[in-house]
Structure 1
Amino acid sequence: MGCLDLTTFLVNNPNLKISGVIAGSPFWGLSDSHNIDFARRLIIKFLATFVEELPLNGLGSTHYLSHDRRYYLHELVTNSKKHPTYTSGGILNSMLESCEDISVNAKVYTKPTLVFMAGKDKIVNNGAIRNFIAKCGVPKPLMKIRLYPNSYHNIHKEPEYKFRQLAEIYEFIHALKDAGKTMPFEKGDLKKVRFGRPLKKKSLKVKRSFTTALIISYLYYGVLILIIRGLIRRWNEKNALRWSQVLFTIMIWPKYIQ
């Protein structure tokens, strides 16, 4: 999520004086095999506005996976400062919007970048990372990719790779300095920064409205009545409802509770 937020920020502010970016296991989208079709996307966009605080996943997290057994047990059992890694409807919708936005604006992203990918990552999809890299506007000589095949998501906690990763970071930074590509950061630029979604969006944000809430609530209860009606018919050993009866039940469900 950190890399997704940072990329959105840089897409919003392409002229900000940033010498380079180091991205560790970045979440830059979904894989091609997990694309969400238009209908499902609409469902997420509408429902997320009304269940934005509702947790959608459990307390556990694969963030803790590591070949360092001591670190894994510490995070899973003894770390009293850890935070539950819940994902709500609102967060899910924002994540999808951000992924869509950075994909649409990928050419605007031109900063020299060092990307680390974990071969056993259970959090992000490496195919999605490569898709964004292929679309972005970073010149090929300035895009560095490092894949650690035996690493989980938190590469900096992997005994096999954490020191190698540090060496790669130092090498990347010094290469930028030696090439004279470092930029002096100017505080005046902070007055011009832009936050939020980029001006160019793939989809419009769904606004919460009283009318929309009524429509969704009405259809929600219609589906509940449909389920109850179907169970009653099965109990009475009657034939299943036809499609026309299904739609009729959902649309005029108050008739069946009289």
Structure 2
Amino acid sequence: MIELAGGRALVTGGAGTLGKALARVLLDRGMAVLLTDRDEDRLRDAIARLGHPKDLDWRVLDVADPQGWAALGEAIDADVAPIRLLVNNACPPSARRPLTEIAPADWQSLIAAGLTGPFLGVRTFAPRMAASGGGHILNIASMAALGPLPDHGDYAAAKAGLLSLSETLRIELADSGVGVSVACPGAIGHPLGHAGCAADPAAAPGRMDPVAGMGFVIDAMQAGRFLILTHGDGADAIACRADEIAVAFDRAAQGGPARTR
């Protein structure tokens, strides 16, 4: 069981629905939480909605900026409490267009935040965690990482990359004292555009309550699970993909190009 109480967590994308939900859950587990986001106004609003608990702090951070991560790492080094849990949660929404209609700048922006951002976070804090006695990295991917998602191909590509990054990271950090989990949640939270509401609304119809969903994720992480799913639907589509891969392997074994000696 991974112990959280008394430790310190860093959660990126803290101004969003899942960022706030993760903060609530981790605070309830007895952690001090540092929330980051690139939007200072929304971040301040998130802190206000969370009630300004004494164990909650915040910092403006663009996760796609290597210098921002370097400065944050140095600031944490000067603090008494190291980061024991890094939650890579930040990711902008999809452009919601077919891939051939997505502007290159929009593609690059999403990949920079949703995939390069977690890489930079890991690069900044995994060595620090290992040097200070261990910790855990939780990457928030998506069910979109497990299969195609038409008109959201930018988002799906970033999340599939994050799943792959997590799988590699688990192997590379196996002997470091730093654990790795990746969550692939389904529909959680509120419709787009809720940020301007005076208070967080209830979860939209057909969606899981954010705090309940992130509570499930944190419980699974504490239990030592690597791959965490919040929804049971979608298994058929994923099974079809696995079957297709198995068939491709069989065909390669039976009639693939000859290997060099």
Whether these two folds match at TM > 0.5 is no
* Larger radius of gyration between Structure 1 and Structure 2: 1
**For the superposition of Structure 1 and Structure 2, which TM-score range results when normalised by the shorter chain?**
under 0.3
If each structure's strand is expressed as a fraction of its own residues, which one has the higher value? Answer: 2
What is the TM-score of this pair, normalised by structure 1? 0.25
If each structure's helix is expressed as a fraction of its own residues, which one has the higher value? Answer: 1
What is the TM-score of this pair, normalised by structure 2? 0.25
Structure with more relative contact order (C-alpha pairs < 8 Å, separation 6 or more): 1
